[in-house]
Amino acid sequence: MHRREFLTTIGLAGSANLLKGVPNSVAAADKASRVSLGPKSLLHGTPAVFAPAADGFTVSCPLAAAALVWLEYGETDTLGTLMKGDAQGFVPHDDKVVKIRLRGLKSGTRYYWRAHAKPLRGGATTFTKTYATRTLDPGAQKAAFTVWNDTHDNAQVIRQLHDAREPEADFLLWNGDVSNDVNDRKLLPALYVSPPGVDLAEGAPIFSVRGNHDVRGIWANKMTDYVDFPGGYPYYGFRVGPLGVIVLDTGEDKPDDHPSLKGVAAFQPLIRKQAAWLEQAIASPSLRDAPYRILFCHIPLRWSKEQRPNYARGGYDYVSLRGQEAWQGALARWKTQVVISGHTHKHAWLEPTAGFRFAQLVGGGRTLNDATRIQGSATADALRLTTLNLKGETLHEAIFKPLRREKMTVASRTVDMQKATSIVHSQH
């Protein structure tokens, strides 16, 4: 099902059950599949880990009732250190969600942790199981990562992607459109942090990228209550091993003044603001000197038909021309090798051209037939990007050589299916 057909079928208000008799959306499956953390747990499901860095990461804990929350952590499973106070002198507490940032950690080190929760007005303390999360290592000899995109409230797709996770990946990048819209506030914990039957705290920590559907709905601006971005902005950069990464936010797929956005959108100024930040980011030594250079953004910066749609007659962006115009010069100077996106719901690959020196890779989504995961691995010899469907079949593979010379080289092949078995923000 193509993207427009999907939106027409389900509408923007929520998902439909695509398999008869089986709850397919997170909203439908949440109550039946909610993972229990024990009797009378104060956490509404499981926690999740966001915004990993060389010196820390953020744990997000959705709550079922008002509670005090703190973390216990250490370099072994005996834990031993408490993170119990915030920057304002309080023990973190809330009735919906608490986010706690662990700081001052060692790079490339596995930390064990668990979250404790105690009723705000007194009572027994409950706690999660013990998890393990590894900080990023900018000096490592290799890096590995996984990319998901356009899961669109589809519980079955999320579960299958999670079941296929790579246990040694340095990070998971969720490349936008986690939701259909955020008109139901309950979707924020039930989808972005604790999807039913999926424990996101198990496995690689998450870098989040906003898609155009993630910024729709009356509660879309509350996403950051639950999800953490490096430096607090939805655009950022980081280094892990030989890999330099920049994440940019393409915003909506229509102009800010489009009537359907009801006056709440201000993404065109945000795109311009990112252009100024991007100039600083690509000059930072950790990104400037990276052997491999990837940009992640939800809406592609290239497409086969690059023309402005007729928004008045239901048109929308398949390619972010606003982002392309604002960022292309800096991306060329950074010698970006590939832009990885989602949005179209169909896997695609566009080779570099004279006008666009970077390749464009698009992940598929949202149905069981079209969803993909992208596995990335970077070593001293090559950056390899492999796109797989939910059956584990390879759809495409791209291999990039390190940027040791001015000219970038890339080898790409499409597999015959019949044969195939952080850069901290400066003050603005």
Residues 112, 380: Cα–Cα separation, whole Å = 30
What is the model's pLDDT at position 353? 94
Q: What is the mean pLDDT of residues 385-407?
A: 89
Average pLDDT, the chain: 88
- Residue 200 pLDDT exceeds 90: yes
Alpha helices (H) along 282-378: 285-288, 321-333
pLDDT of residue 40: 57
Whether residue 28 is predicted with pLDDT greater than 80 in this model: the reply is: no
Give the model's confidence band at 307: pLDDT under 50 very low, under 70 low, under 90 confident, else very high. Answer: confident
Q: Which residue has the tokens 């008869």?
A: 20
What's the topology of domain 48-134? Answer: Immunoglobulin-like (2.60.40)
- Interatomic CA distance for residues 334 and 278, integer angstroms: 10
Q: Where are the beta strands (DSSP E) in 149-226?
A: 171-175, 206-209
Q: Which of 3, 28, 4 is nearest to 14 (CA)?
A: 28
426 has a pLDDT exceeding 60: no
Confidence at residue 387, expressed as pLDDT on a 0 to 100 scale: 98
> Do 240 and 143 contact (CB within 8 A), yes or no?
yes
Tell me the CB-side half-sphere exposure of residue 308, using CA atoms within 13 A. Answer: 9
Write down the pLDDT at residue 81: 97
- The CATH code of domain 143-414 reads 3.60.21.10
What is the pLDDT, as a whole number, of residue 122? 87
The amino acid sitting at 233 is Y
Q: Do residues 26 and 192 touch, judged by C-beta distance below 8 A?
A: no
What tens digit of pLDDT does each residue of 202-247 get? 999 999 999 999 999 999 999 999 999 999 999 999 999 999 999 9
Residues 406, 262: Cα–Cα separation, whole Å: 46
Question: In the predicted model, is pLDDT for residue 16 greater than 70?
Answer: no
pLDDT at 36: 39
Please report, for the chain, the start and end positions of each structural domain, with discontinuous segments joined by +: 48-134, 143-414
Strand partners, 173: 147, 207
Query: Which token pair is 263?
Result: 């006056």
| Pair of tokens at residue 315 | 């048109």
Q: Of 59, 152, 51, give the one whose Cα is nearest residue 161.
A: 152
Given this model, what pLDDT does residue 26 score? Answer: 54
Encoded tokens for 320: 């972010």
CB-count burial class (<10 Å; 0-12, 13-18, 19+) for 181: buried
Q: Cβ distance 233 to 417 under 8 Å?
A: no
Please give the pLDDT value at position 80.
93
**% of the chain surpassing 70 pLDDT:** 85
Residue 259 has phi, psi (to 5 degrees) of -60, -30
**42-51: average pLDDT:** 95
Q: How far apart are CA 130 and CA 151, in angstroms?
A: 27
For residue 304, what pLDDT band results from cuts at 50, 70 and 90? confident
Which value, to the nearest 10 degrees, does the dihedral of the CA atoms of residues 152, 158, 160, 164 take? Answer: 120
Per-residue confidence band for 306, with pLDDT thresholds at 50, 70 and 90: confident
pLDDT of amino acid 25:
58
**Residue 254, Cβ neighbours under 10 Å: how many?**
18
Res. 342: pLDDT tops 70: yes
Q: Is the pLDDT of residue 24 over 70?
A: no
Q: 425 or 358, which is more confident?
A: 358
Degrees to nearest 5, angle at CA 333 with 377 and 147: 25
When pLDDT is averaged across residues 315-335 and rounded to a whole number, the result is 96
pLDDT at residue 410, rounded to an integer? 55
Q: Is the pLDDT score of 294 beyond 60?
A: yes
Task: Give dist(CA 396, CA 394) in Å, integer.
Answer: 6
pLDDT reported for residue 352 = 95
Looking at residue 384, what is its pLDDT? Answer: 98
Which secondary-structure segment (H or E) carries 269? helix 267-281
pTM: 0.88
What Rg do the C-alpha atoms of the chain give, in angstroms?
21
- pLDDT number for residue 424: 42
> How high is the pLDDT of residue 406?
45
For the residues 91-100, what does the mean pLDDT come to?
A: 96
